């Protein structure tokens, strides 16, 4: 019975793990990559194009939206209660901060 009731909470937490990368984003590196790139054969400009910058902003905007809509702040399961509020809001805040 215990094993059967662990599956759903674990799946919920796995949905949040998809966004772990947000906590590991090096903001200075991201800015450097977008605005101070070395010129190469593929890359003919020092700065990223508007489309590249917009894509990066959109990526974090969508992540923030998805995070806030994964689950309720508290999710009750038969044996467990997952309190996702802190995790959810921290991830969303980081995504917004990067944006």
* Residue spans of the chain under pLDDT 50: none
Phi-psi region of 26 (alpha: psi -120 to 50; beta: other; left: phi over 0): beta
Do residues 95 and 18 lie in contact, with contact meaning Cβ atoms separated by under 8 Å? no
d(CA 72, CA 76): 10
Q: What is the pLDDT of residue 33?
A: 84
Is the pTM above the cut of 0.75? yes
CB atoms within 10 A of CB 48: 17
Kindly list the domain boundaries of the chain, sorted by start residue: 2-98
Q: What is the pLDDT of residue 44?
A: 63
């Amino acid at each position: 019975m215990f094993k059967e009731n662990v599956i759903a909470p674990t799946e919920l937490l796995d949905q949040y793990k998809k966004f772990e990368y947000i906590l590991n984003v090096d903001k200075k590196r991201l800015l450097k990559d977008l605005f101070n790139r070395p010129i190469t054969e593929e890359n003919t400009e020092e700065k990223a194009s508007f489309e590249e910058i917009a894509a990066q902003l959109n990526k974090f905007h969508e992540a923030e939206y998805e995070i806030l809509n994964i689950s309720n702040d508290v999710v009750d399961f038969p044996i467990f209660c997952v309190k996702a509020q802190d995790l959810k809001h921290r991830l969303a805040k980081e995504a917004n901060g990067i944006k």
